[in-house]
Structure 1
């Protein structure tokens, strides 16, 4: 069995813990293994993106949409929040579906062809996110799926699929390549977004007006 096949067969964190975490391993050895596996996973993810062009395709879809929805459940909710936060700084109509202010049923009520939904769907694949993606697609919206396998749910329905290698030496699948992809995607989108510089300038002004951040003492002393 290949390393990738073994990784995919270890479905739950409990399975991975039993296979990868040994009592006789030192902290230094465990750190070395995690760093090495994360480095490989990140390199593999970037290589896939170079070959497929999926990140650039996804950026084009997002830029061409009128409303941009982002969703993820469990651990993937953090990835969705990260991407939504970064995109909101440079782009309008960014909507995070988080189950409170914006619930799936609200988002699905008025889907248009010009809408796009970016879903983070990592194993063990949230049933709620899969339903949301399927219903959004059926309602006529565009779907971008960021996931960890070519056989994952929603792959066959998505307009653009970004495959992320989450292989790890830890009991937890690696978040490093997923975060890197979110960062890359937000950078590609923001670089081509009309009015991005103006929005960032206005945000800086408003942040100062609202007193959102502590003064940078070092910068003040230099002035």
Structure 2
């Protein structure tokens, strides 16, 4: 686990050195980022160009990182090998968790989105098995609920896969696999672009190597036609 954290820390330093990411990390709240980036007069065209340039750079850095460290491929292997797969995120991270859970469930069985309502954290923690995996998504300012779930899930013998934005994230110390995604932004909000793209990559690699995925996808198509779910159908 310590060697895993060291590799993440080294990769973080590389990314920060290229982009000034540590300065970005110092702006810890949307209010601080708004004051630093958006209060000076800007035309809409100039702001749009700056945001697009930064989003493009952040996405390229994310793909370069995961290509170099192999973290997404390793996480996909852990998810495929699991008997049950849980996906969790709180607040804004719940959107990424929902995206991942929907895409994974198309090709894999036993995928559960921990939404805190129908599937509560206590429900999951009461029955953790050593063949279970939890994909926990948490970005600064790291919601306590997700961190606590990951800590207790790992303590109960399950495997945690973390999708987060820094080596110093509280998730990395309990995760068997960690995917660290840069979120540098020219906006008041940290970039969602690379996080969504890496979640998409994780779902793709996982489904591509899952036994029965093609059959499951074909059956879903058949049912969609039978139930007339889609306008195009």
Question: Which of the residues 66, 73, 83 maps onto 1:49?
Answer: 66
TM-score of the pair, normalised by structure 2: 0.90
* Partner of residue 22, structure 1: 39
* Partner of residue 141, structure 2: 124
* Partner of residue 220, structure 1: none
Unaligned runs of 5+ in 2: 1-15
- Find runs of 4+ consecutive structure 1 residues off by over 6 angstroms: none
* Partner of residue 184, structure 1: 201
Unaligned runs of 5+ in 1: 217-223
State the distance in 1 between where 2:118 and 2:228 align. 25
User: Alpha-carbon deviation of 1:23?
Assistant: 4.6
For the pair shown, the structure with the greater C-alpha radius of gyration is: 1
Query: Does the residue aligned with 2:160 lie in a helix, a strand or coil?
Result: strand
Aligned ranges 1:70-89 → 2 under 5 Å: 70-89=87-106
* Partner of residue 101, structure 1: 118
Matched, 1:32 2:49: yes
State the distance in 1 between where 2:129 and 2:48 align. 47
State the distance in 2 between where 1:208 and 1:5 align. 50
Aligned ranges 1:166-177 → 2 under 5 Å: 166-177=183-194
- The count of aligned residue pairs is 216
Query: Does the residue aligned with 1:89 lie in a helix, a strand or coil?
Result: helix
* Partner of residue 219, structure 1: none
